[in-house]
Amino acid sequence: MASVRRLHLFDLDGTLIRGSAAAVEISRQLGLSAEIAELESHFFSRGMAPDEFAVQARALWADLTMEQVSAAFDGAPWLAGIHEVWADIRSQGDYCAVISLSPDFFVRRLLDWGAHAAHGSRWPVPPFTEPVDRAGILNPAAKVEIANRLCAEFGVSLDDCVAYGDSMSDAEIFAAVPRAVAVNADHHLSGLATHTYSGGDLREAYELVCPAR
């Protein structure tokens, strides 16, 4: 009997990027670390909606260029082993996808690392000539909606999914799938994860659900 294929769903900020986020890395390139820290405090502690965060971040990043986006991506503190994990997932006939609230112009770069799909919030491409469309900004519930679409595309079900995340924005997807790995996570995922990992290597987190064969 053929084995059931799995879909591995990865968050980006705080999960694949340890202790940081796309917005933080982009802002660092612009010399706006203090300003994005203040904005993130409103988002995490004071209930700012993701679309409002995006609108305000867009204002901060008025002079952003794609060269700075590339530098932010290349300089981010990525977990070790991402390429290797995704290569192994592919070799098993399984699927891997990234679903993130961060800008799609950053998230989509992970397709080159081996992800089958990479979904982020819909932003205009830098240098910006248009405002952020609030309707295109993802929220935590959208992660489940996108996961369902990916399941239909790949011919699997949510029962065949594994989620990897670190924070409140991952709680809904953790609740929707049978296996979830909290990666360097905060208290919002307590009790929702089937596995917990703290460290700097995605291969070790992956082994919790897919032991070495």
pLDDT in tens, the chain (213 residues): 346 899 999 999 999 999 999 999 999 999 999 999 999 998 887 789 999 999 999 999 999 999 999 999 999 999 999 999 999 999 999 999 999 999 999 999 999 999 999 999 999 999 999 999 999 999 999 999 999 999 999 999 999 999 999 999 999 999 999 999 999 999 889 889 999 999 999 999 999 999 865
Query: In the structure encoding, which two tokens stand for residue 198, read together?
Result: 């703290």
Q: Please say whether the beta carbons of 173 and 119 come within 8 A.
A: no
Order the strands of the 117-121 sheet from edge to edge. Answer: 117-121, 95-103, 7-10, 161-165, 179-183, 195-197
CA distance 18 to 76: 9
CA distance 23 to 191: 28
CA distance 32 to 24: 9
pTM of the predicted model as reported, rounded to 2 decimal places:
0.96
Query: In the structure encoding, which two tokens stand for residue 92, read together?
Result: 């098993």
Residue type at 31 in one-letter notation: G
SS3 (DSSP) at 120: strand
